[in-house]
Structure 1
Amino acid sequence: MQDIAGYKSIALDIAQRIVSGEFGVRSKISGRSLLASQYHVSPETIRKSINLLKEEDIVSVSQGKEIIVISDQRALDYLTKNNYLKTVYSLKQDLENLLEQKKEIDHKFEKVISGIINFSDRLQNLKPYHPIEINVSESSHVVGKTIGNLEFWQQTGATIIALRRGTDISISPGPHVILRENDVLIVVGDGQVHQRTTQFINQQ
């Protein structure tokens, strides 16, 4: 307990001993030297610990440096406060872990996007294919229907190579996938595929 947080840990332990009744109210706590021996720290570290408790009105220190317990309730309040702070610290750690996980997910998402873009770039060199993105509006008649039931390819001549739904991406979605509002379809086809697909999607 020689580090900076050591004296705080000792103060909490002494407060716990007060709450448990080991050190009763109005009783004298062992001198600094004995406490230093018990906790295997220097008398200076004990002095800092006792000062923390004194500031919280848990103990008093006489001119003769006698340490007297004056309130077990304030000792309990002190423990409660520090347990709360510990909880806040734990939540902070959880938040930092979640942010790290989010970074990993974002990185994977970027890799998938890059893969689709590279795939699309290659397709652009294979005429008559031209990858395009089509947004599904909430008023579109395709909402709630499967790709197969819509006879998507037969109606538009477009092949769906990917579907983006929020942060999720499906590569080559099958005929049983149900389209939803705000879906983004990435399709390929001939030079007229954009016009035909847009007209088909925007039917109400």
Structure 2
Amino acid sequence: MDKEIRIKVPRYKQIALDIASRIANGEFKEGAKIFGRSSLAGEYNVSPETIRRAIILLEDMEVVQATLGSGVVITSKRNAHKYMESNQNKESISSLRSDVLDLLAKKKAIETEIMEIIDKIIDYSERLKNTNPMNPVEIPISDDSHLIGKTISESKFWQNTGATIIGIRRGKDLILSPGPYMEMEKNDKILAVGDAAIIERAKDFMKTL
């Protein structure tokens, strides 16, 4: 299964967003100074360099202005709101992307489980094929089969054999319930159901030139 992928927001971006939130909600007022980088580093329990990078982000958005020796001054509550909205949209996209990756991983896990169950059914059916006509049997398409290149509809498989195709194994993939326009290829293996006589007709039909 593919490894689950999570998008982690860097710490300095988290701090920049938190400071913007504090400005937006009025904790820090426009024109006021907030603590220097060393004090903020202590408050957020990070290095001064991390705080410096967070302040640079806010300066770029004209939320604050940092002056050497004078600390950090709040310049725009409005821009703090804009910065928050911009990052919330990015977080939403990241969250949706993560959800899609989660679903794809689950889909792949379900497909793998289905293939394992089908393999078990085939194994049982080989041992019990004369007791239940609904057990699927896996029949390989020979290299010289007339079915290669034909769709299921064109082959008139059911009309000629009475067997129903419930799947096609192609390499490592298992295609369940293939439609009438599914084209059969060399090295495919057909999963068919029917009684013993029907399955034998299917095997003969697949070899017929």
TM range (shorter): 0.5 to 0.7
Instruction: Determine helix, strand or coil for the equivalent of 1:190.
Output: helix
Match of 1:5 among 10, 24, 27: 10
8 Å CA contact 1:11–1:52 kept in 2: the answer is yes
Supply the distance in 2 between the matched residues of 1:192 and 1:18 (Cα, whole angstroms): 75
Alpha-carbon shift at residue 14 of structure 1 (Å): 0.6
Match of 2:20 among 15, 19, 38: 15
Match of 1:176 in 2: none
Are 1:71 and 2:69 an aligned pair?
no
Q: For the structure 1 residues 187 and 136, does the alpha-carbon distance in structure 2 shift closer, same or farther, using more than 3 Å as the test?
A: farther
Alpha-carbon shift at residue 192 of structure 1 (Å): 9.2
Supply the distance in 1 between the matched residues of 2:125 and 2:199 (Cα, whole angstroms): 17
Amino acid at match of 1:77: K
Alignment of 1:74-89 (within 5 A): 74-89=79-94
Specify every segment of 5 or more residues in structure 1 that has no aligned partner in the other structure, as ranges.
141-156, 169-179, 199-204
8 Å CA contact 1:16–1:75 kept in 2: the answer is yes
Report which stretch shifted further, 36-45 or 10-19. Answer: 36-45
Number of aligned positions between the proteins = 164
Amino acid at match of 1:47: R
Are 1:47 and 2:52 an aligned pair?
yes
Match of 1:111 among 94, 113, 116: 116
Cα deviation 1:141-166 (Å, max 9, x = unaligned):
xxxxxxxxxxxxxxxx9798x956x8
Taking structure 1 as the reference length, the TM-score comes to 0.60
Are 1:58 and 2:63 an aligned pair?
yes
Instruction: Determine helix, strand or coil for the equivalent of 2:197.
Output: coil
Cα deviation 1:5-54 (Å, max 9, x = unaligned):
22221111110011001111222222222222322223222212111111
Supply the distance in 2 between the matched residues of 1:26 and 1:86 (Cα, whole angstroms): 29
Report which stretch shifted further, 89-98 or 109-118. Answer: 109-118
8 Å CA contact 2:192–2:199 kept in 1: the answer is no
Identity across matched positions, percent: 34
Q: For the structure 1 residues 44 and 158, does the alpha-carbon distance in structure 2 shift closer, same or farther, using more than 3 Å as the test?
A: closer
Cα deviation 1:74-116 (Å, max 9, x = unaligned):
1111111211222222212212221221122111221233234
Structure 1 stretches of 4+ with a deviation exceeding 6 A read: 157-160
Supply the distance in 1 between the matched residues of 2:162 and 2:16 (Cα, whole angstroms): 72
Match of 2:107 in 1: 102
Amino acid at match of 2:25: S
